[in-house]
Structure 1
Amino acid sequence: MKTVKIVGVPEHFNFPWHLTIDEGLFNEVGIDLQWNDIPEGTGKMCEMLRNNQTDLAVILTEGILKDIANGNEAVILQTFVQSPLQWGIHVNAQSNFETVADLYGKKAAISRYGSGSELMTYVNAANQNWDFNSIQFQIVNTLNGAVDALTNREADYFMWEQFMTQPIVDKGIFKRIGVCPTPWPCFMIVARKEFYNQNKALVAHLLETINQTTAEFKMIPSIDKTLAIKYNQQLNDIQQWLQITKWAQKKPTKNQFTEIINQLLKYNIINQTLNYEEVVV
């Protein structure tokens, strides 16, 4: 049995991993998969890949490609979630902000630099034709940290996946004044290059196992009710999320990769192109 470390955010996108681990399906192919939730998000996971603290990560596309462009020796194994991530734009529910335009020059709460919560502020700014130099940041580490920062007026707005923040909106803590979808598939499965090179057959078995789960995930009886309970969601919100979420079972094609890179260049998330053959294995 080979022990493999993997990290990801504690969100409903990753429930197929927990299900597959709990059912012992990785064990059947000789893998002891050790999952670790990382509420700090993509920036922290990039750091863990760089520091050999994990073998694999399920990570935001824009964050890992930016970090690879900055020297992280990670490789993309395949796309995990093909559909865009719906980034809600949130403010303190008691604030006077009513539209996204009201946030020009205001301070964004972010989990850390390099995380999606930072990078998507640039996408939003570009969509609004804002000067990137107008954006200010407050590091808050986690979703709970963002709640504190907006409540205490230490930051003005926070971008996070809209369904995971829905309970906070329902409680009247956050107000959502807009949604900014990613212009690319949202999650990739990545590996440290050294780990991949030494374990190619094992990685193939691991991907085959998780892909079998995600291909059948939406057909699991009462999966909507299970997810609603586990992630403290309203059933109709989870049903809506399931409708728009599409898991993938393949690596991005060269054309898809080129389109993602062109988008990242457009939004100034990266400032150099990346070679498909070097990044996608």
Structure 2
Amino acid sequence: MPLRVGYVREHFSTPLLQFQEADQNETFSLVECPSGTGQLISRLTKDEIDVAIALTDPLISGIANGSTAYKLCGSYVSTPLNWAVITGKNTKYNAISDLKGTPIGISRLGSGSQTMAYVMAQQQGWPTEELQFKLNNDIHGLIDSVNDGSTSAFMWEWFTTKPFVDAGEARFIGSVLTPWPSWLIAAHPSPSRAHPDALRTFMTSLSGYVREFDSAANRAGPNLEVIKAKFGYPDADIEAWLKTVKYPEDCLVIPSKVITDTLSVLEKAGVVKAPEGGFLAENFVDQQVVNLT
């Protein structure tokens, strides 16, 4: 059976989409999850996908908080994610500091939009236990919520939200970079759903497309045309994003420091609580698949 791979259709997924277009043996199928990592984790839990390419922080916090629906099995993007802080077009909020004590929109519980709100609160010195959240499913629901006043702001990836801001539907009031590499790959631990051999084969092939996309030759021009054709972003936005993003040489490698450093930040933000003796990075990965360095 082909692996069912969940993903979010945005510019980061370009190497994955190129892999699928070339996959003549149909070794995997893509399942789009527009609501983001919370939806990806939910679909892993419900046996709707076998593999998820998702945001680092919700994946790690999910395991830390007891999820057994997946283990980490690889890396996807090695640079931080730039989270835009977005408010409505006519609201009174003009800076992140204005948001203290107000309801923040999130896509789903456990999503990156929620964990990054905790990180933002930590950076601002706000009590994280006082954060208020309102679920709004996806970026369209989130934009509606900041414009109808039911939330003050939400957080989403910068370039994905920029077209809505350019169209006058919302406003940027700040941004927060993740203190960790932005994307990892997770899979259900059952061999009947994601066999280690199939996972290694998938990840090895994906690594080739990632390296090709990340090459100097493709960064010099072809990547811009591919992303423009797939997503319709303006040239200037694509060029700006390409200057900020890097992919791993080998998707089958996860530095243990990524896991431990992310857990340290999430613990300080109140998202996870360490067990007695602390967290062990090896408990977060499928050791039959990934190389933990």
TM-score by length of 1: 0.93
Counterpart of 1:7? 6
* 3-state SS of paired residue (1:193): coil
Asked if the contact 1:167–1:232 (Cα under 8 Å) also holds between the matched residues in 2, the reply is: no
Relative distance call for 1:154 and 1:255 in structure 2 (3 A) is closer
Partner Cα distance (1:240, 1:198) in 2: 36
Counterpart of 2:59? 64
Work out whether 1:235 is the aligned partner of 2:235: yes
Aligned letter for 1:96?
K
* 3-state SS of paired residue (1:159): strand
For 1:93-130, what per-residue CA distance to the aligned partner results, in whole angstroms no more than 9, with x for missing partners?
21121111111111111001100111111100011111
Aligned residues: 276
Relative distance call for 1:196 and 1:104 in structure 2 (3 A) is farther
Partner Cα distance (2:264, 2:196) in 1: 29
Deviation at 1:3, TM superposition (A): 1.1
Counterpart of 1:85? 81
Counterpart of 1:269? 271
Deviation at 1:254, TM superposition (A): 2.4
Partner Cα distance (2:66, 2:259) in 1: 18
Deviation at 1:256, TM superposition (A): 3.3
Counterpart of 1:108? 104
Partner Cα distance (1:232, 1:93) in 2: 23
Provide runs of 4+ in structure 1 moved above 6 Å: none
| Greater displacement, 241-250 / 141-150 | 241-250
Deviation at 1:253, TM superposition (A): 2.1
The percentage of aligned residue pairs carrying the same residue is: 27
Counterpart of 1:279? 284
For 1:182-206, what per-residue CA distance to the aligned partner results, in whole angstroms no more than 9, with x for missing partners?
1011111111011389622221111
Relative distance call for 1:23 and 1:105 in structure 2 (3 A) is same
Deviation at 1:133, TM superposition (A): 3.2
* 3-state SS of paired residue (2:191): helix
Partner Cα distance (1:141, 1:125) in 2: 21
Aligned alpha-carbon RMSD (Å): 1.7
Structure 1 segment 9-28 matched on structure 2, within 5 A: 9-24=8-23, 27=25
TM-score by length of 2: 0.89
| Greater displacement, 94-103 / 116-125 | 94-103
| Greater displacement, 254-263 / 200-209 | 254-263
Work out whether 1:187 is the aligned partner of 2:189: no
Q: Mind listing any 5+ residue stretches in structure 2 that lack a counterpart?
A: 288-293
* 3-state SS of paired residue (1:98): coil
Partner Cα distance (1:236, 1:76) in 2: 34
Q: Mind listing any 5+ residue stretches in structure 1 that lack a counterpart?
A: none
Partner Cα distance (1:211, 1:128) in 2: 38
Aligned letter for 2:181?
P
Structure 1 segment 253-264 matched on structure 2, within 5 A: 253-264=255-266
Deviation at 1:60, TM superposition (A): 0.9
| Greater displacement, 161-170 / 195-204 | 195-204
For 1:212-256, what per-residue CA distance to the aligned partner results, in whole angstroms no more than 9, with x for missing partners?
001110443522122134223211111111111111224222233
Partner Cα distance (1:49, 1:142) in 2: 18
Partner Cα distance (1:107, 1:34) in 2: 37
Partner Cα distance (2:158, 2:257) in 1: 29
* 3-state SS of paired residue (1:194): coil
Deviation at 1:48, TM superposition (A): 1.4
